[in-house]
Amino acid sequence: MSDNSNKTQDKIEEEKKIPITWERLVKMGFHVWRQFDDQYYAGFAGMLAYFFLMSAVPMLIVLTQVLGIFDISMDFVRDWLNTHLSNHMSSFLESLLSASSTGISNFIMIILVLWASSSLSFSLSRLTTYTLTNGKYRYSYFAERLKAIPMALILIFSVAMVLIVYVYGELIAQKVLQRPEIYAVIMRLRTPLLTVMFFLIILLIYYVLPRIRVPIKAVLPGSVLATIGLVLVTWIYSLYIERATNYNILYGAFSNIVAMMLWFYLISWVLCIGMMFNKSWDIQLRRDRLSPEKIKSYVLKQYGDRGEEMWNKLIYGEYDLADRSLDSIAVRMSRKFDPGYQEKREREIDELVAERSLRQKVEEKMIAEAEVKAETEDMTDVREEETSADNES
């Protein structure tokens, strides 16, 4: 019975869908553009670019460890560092990669690396959840930071493996497979494989990182768009690096870092636009997968018996200020140690409660008047019917 109802629901959803047209794509573009009016997105790409740079060192460390398994030298990594970074920065990173500290300093370094690398996935988690909830999401620092650490490890390892397959695919095939026809195929398919791998990584970001688990097909359009954008941005960046000869006049020794940060900045914008596009695609094509009602149903399903509780904690409500249990740690500490804040907060709550009470009375009065009006209209219809019947008789 449930299977039949699911099929019926899927059929209804299919009938509600509208086809993709050029006009709809233009509307999607303008819808994404309008979202930039939200100041939340204004500086987010710059922050993501900074965290991309912080994650680069852990990524290089993973890269070198995996290369060691296949007994491949570090010459490529050194050449890449010398090409894209200044001499001082390149020497510093090379010494960091070749260091073998032990004891407490090694433990502290692991903690710092985890924090630095998880900052990227932590920020992406906030971005994706914010976009899904139309900016009504209340983030939890500790819950999202703890979730970001294992995701950071997965992302770092995934990106490192992508780079290894793309750069060292032929060499690894020669060493491991020892079959010329295999690594010849790998060379021909290297760029398509790179694109597919980047698509899977972006899809993983959009699907796993948000605090609200949505259907994977709801984030597919943005993943495709972000993959195309990532490949295009990387191609433009490579052309820029090859042909720009005087960009170091302005920045001097920092020119390579600035160029790389520009690349990270553009990638960050691509990820932001991809997530916005998922929302725009859902609205303009009426897929009804990311509507507010659907988002709430996903939360209720995700957390089971605690669904309503988690929804109230996750999403800002109109009268949340009156609920003291939802106060953040900063508000609670301010209540205790900031002189006068407790009284100010309570006055705000009293005003909000009075406003809510007044609004409820107005709504109840309007409902009562509507019911009386409906009853009067029904009585009038009955009398007209009786009068008409008497006239006919």
Q: For 304, which DSSP code?
A: G
Which contiguous run of DSSP H or E holds residue 46? helix 44-69
Buried residues in 223-260 as b, exposed as e (16+ CB within 10 A): bbbbbebbbebbeebeeeeeeeeeeeeeeeeebbeebb
Do residues 310 and 303 make contact, with C-beta atoms less than 8 angstroms apart?
A: yes
* Average confidence score pLDDT of the chain: 75
Do residues 246 and 205 make contact, with C-beta atoms less than 8 angstroms apart?
A: no
Q: Please give the Cα distance from 273 to 173 (Å, whole number).
A: 37
Nearest to 271, CA basis, from 24, 39, 48, 42: 48
pTM (predicted TM-score): 0.70
Domain ranges of the chain: 20-291, 334-392
Residues of the chain short of pLDDT 70, as ranges, are 1-17, 57-113, 160-187, 238, 241-256, 318-319, 381-382, 386, 389-393
Q: 3-state DSSP call for residue 137?
A: strand
